[in-house]
Amino acid sequence: MTDSKLTARLLGNICSLKEKGYNVVIVHGGGPFIKLILQEAGIESEFIDGQRKTTPEAMEYVEMALKGKVNGSLVSIINAMGHNAVGLSGKDGRTVVAEKRLHRREQNGGTELVDLGQVGDVAEVNPALINLLLEKNYIPVITCIASDKNGIDYNINGDMFAGHIAGAVSAEQYVVLTDVDGLMLDKDDPGTIIRELMVSELIQLREKGVIRGGMIPKLESCEIALSSGAQSARIINGTVPEQITSFLGNQEFGTLIRK
């Protein structure tokens, strides 16, 4: 999403799904934008096992980046294409209720719980507002911020957030956009891409070290989606926007995960 021309092509292909009669829900994060706005504000980020600790001060800027910058931009581009997009976060209509996340760290043979500040998990999803917008022919564009039952705001991992949304709306297809062609047995060999697998096979692939790095949360989000109502999940290369419409014609793109 840091490449404006690529973003426009991507959204154009997503909107073409709407023109083909599909209901479309877009869920996004925005790590690079968060990093930039915190740098501009002079707020230093503390990372714990690769996860950003979010202070109350930082949370204000996280929301500015995700809701104000990224979400507003995506909505404007879609609307300029002749569609009707509505920008949301999980806070709107209490669509998502968050809960505080405590990071589990294995240390000295035991487990330590580490406070990440205002970093949360999804506790509940109410898809009523999303479904209402879809019924009225809008495209919901949702960013991964939500409040807990006491009104405290949390930043939630975008992949996990999206998986929960996909399950709650019983998505026919949950599509995860990344920067590689799919899950590969050997990450350095595109020829080893896995075209299709059952969700039950993910445990073994994780144990073998096939699933690692940035693929871990993406495939965890697929598990969440499939276990909570989505019919199928697919990981495709978002830097090749044409894949979004091509796989609907039963062409082999990305990695398809079935229940």
Asked if residue 25 and residue 140 are part of one domain, the reply reads yes
Look-up of token digits 């595109």: 190
What are the tens digits of pLDDT across the range 104-160?
Answer: 887 777 888 889 999 999 999 999 999 999 999 999 999 999 999 999 999 999 999
Mean pLDDT of 224-242: 94
Among 142, 169, 196, identify where a domain stops.
169
Q: Are residues 156 and 201 in the same domain?
A: no
Q: Quick one: pLDDT at residue 52?
A: 86
CATH number of the domain residue 224 falls in: 3.40.1160.10
Mean pLDDT over the full length of the chain: 93
**Which of 169, 188, 214 is the last residue in one of the domains?**
169
Same domain? For 23 and 129 the reply is: yes
On the question of pLDDT at 7 being above 90, the answer is: yes
Name the 3-class secondary structure at 146.
Answer: strand
* pLDDT at residue number 246: 77
Residues 109 and 195 in one domain: no
Residues 2 and 124 grouped into a single domain: yes
pLDDT > 70? residue 58? yes
Instruction: Specify whether the CB–CB gap between 182 and 193 falls below 8 A.
Output: yes
pLDDT of residue 111: 86
Based on the fold, state whether residues 175 and 158 are members of the same structural domain.
no
The percentage of residues in the chain with a pLDDT greater than 90, rounded to a whole number, is 78
> Which one, of 179, 236, 190, lies nearest residue 3 by Cα?
179
Question: Average pLDDT for residues 166-185, to the nearest whole number?
Answer: 95
Domain that holds residue 158: 1-169
Instruction: Based on the fold, state whether residues 17 and 111 are members of the same structural domain.
Output: yes
Residues 145 and 181 in one domain: no
Specify the range with the lowest mean pLDDT, choosing from 17-21, 49-53, 155-159.
49-53
Q: How many domains does the chain have?
A: 2
Claim to verify: residue 258 and residue 140 sit in the same structural domain: no
Strand 139-143 to 26-28 pairing:
parallel
Rounded to two decimals, the pTM is 0.94
- In this predicted structure, the answer to whether residue 85 has a pLDDT above a threshold of 80 is yes
- Whether residues 205 and 137 share a domain: the answer is no
Q: Is 255 exposed, middle or buried (0-12, 13-18, 19+ CB in 10 A)?
A: buried
Closest C-alpha among 160, 158, 126 to residue 142: 158
The partner residues of 43 in beta bridges, in order of sequence, read none
CB count in 10 Å sphere of residue 198:
10
175 and 161 assigned to the same domain: no
Strand order of the β-sheet with 85-89 is 26-28, 139-143, 85-89
Most trustworthy range by pLDDT among 128-132, 188-192, 207-211, 238-242: 128-132
- Do 141 and 243 lie in one domain? The reply is no
What pLDDT does residue 250 have?
A: 62
pLDDT of residue 32: 93
The pLDDT score that the predictor gives to residue 249 is 62
Look at residue 136 and give its three-state secondary structure: coil
In the listed set 169, 192, 219, which residue is the last one of a domain according to the structure?
169
